[in-house]
Structure 1
Amino acid sequence: DKVSKLEGLVSMLQSKVRETQEEQIKLEKEMSQRSNRSQLSKDSTVSYDSKMEDLVAAYSKAQKQIVELQDSLMKKKQEETEHNDSLSRFKQMENERNDFQRKLERALEENQLSKQQIQKEKEESKQVRRQLRTLLQHRDDDTASLESEKSGDRCNESARTRSSRSIHRQALVKKAAFKPLTFEELMEKDFS
């Protein structure tokens, strides 16, 4: 809005400058015509000189105003350009921040899932230990009962029971354990 007002003022001043130049040309023509005449009165010469001085002063004043307005327009345009540049930098930084936030949220989510998996593995490990303790207790009980009994049928049955329990225990122990990622591995992992 201000820029359009300034541009209007500049065009008005330029038109005044043109008018002043036209008047100056007319006066010069009149002056040359009068100089051709042999009689010039002192009053007309003084009047002409004062008009010329006024026109020259108005012209120089208009030129100064035009220069000032052009400088003002240039400054406004430069400020507008700087403002647009800062807005684009702000948007770029905001996009980078949003990308980083998404990556961070993914990393936290994976970390939470890893913690849940570790907890699950701990619970399973506790359960396997309990089962192992129970199996060992049964084995000890079976061993004690074997020593007290002397019958051969009973010994064969206990041996079969013992071997099947041993196989069952080995199957429980063989289950693969979960290995969580180290901090360095987490940092190296790309979450995008």
Structure 2
Amino acid sequence: MIVKETKLKGCFVIEPTIFDDGRGSFFESFNKQRFNEKTGLDVDFVQDNQSFSQRGVLRGLHIQKNEFSQAKLVRVIKGKVLDVAVDVRENSSTYGQHFSIELSGENNKQLFVPRGFLHGFSVLENDTIFSYKCDNYYNKASEDGVIYNDKDLRIDWLLDKKEIVLSEKDIKLKTFKEFTK
């Protein structure tokens, strides 16, 4: 496995070693010991989640706050997304900056999003299956977020504005300035 830290400290791109032969392919999608060695982190994932979406769906930008904060290891099983992490750790030198990467069932890349980050993704292909591990349990009362088209964050979601499909919850999210007050 190849692990590279992004420009956002503690946020890593992970590329598995893939073994191909005449039958197909195999790769280890997660190994706690290798993950901890390569990242220098000791993360204990406790919950796995999965979503199924069509092109144009945009989920995010979400965060769990306070004692329910979550680190995530995200990947795409089938299809393709643009995955986005935004650093909102108060004393971070990259506060307010974002990192984005295309994750797909073809490239099998993963993104580790540490606690203290907003997270979201736009779906770039129909019938996309998105999967992620969390190191803390979901708590509805602790959820928060920032609207996907915030003018200060200026994230290019790789979708035409009229393609974007949002949940009722995501339509009502705060601006980045409102979030940081």
Q: Same fold (TM over 0.5)?
A: no
Between the two structures, name the one with larger relative contact order (CA 8 Å, sep ≥ 6).
2
Q: Which has the higher strand share?
A: 2
What is the TM-score of this pair, normalised by structure 1?
A: 0.16
What is the TM-score of this pair, normalised by structure 2?
A: 0.17
Query: Larger C-alpha radius of gyration, 1 or 2?
Result: 1
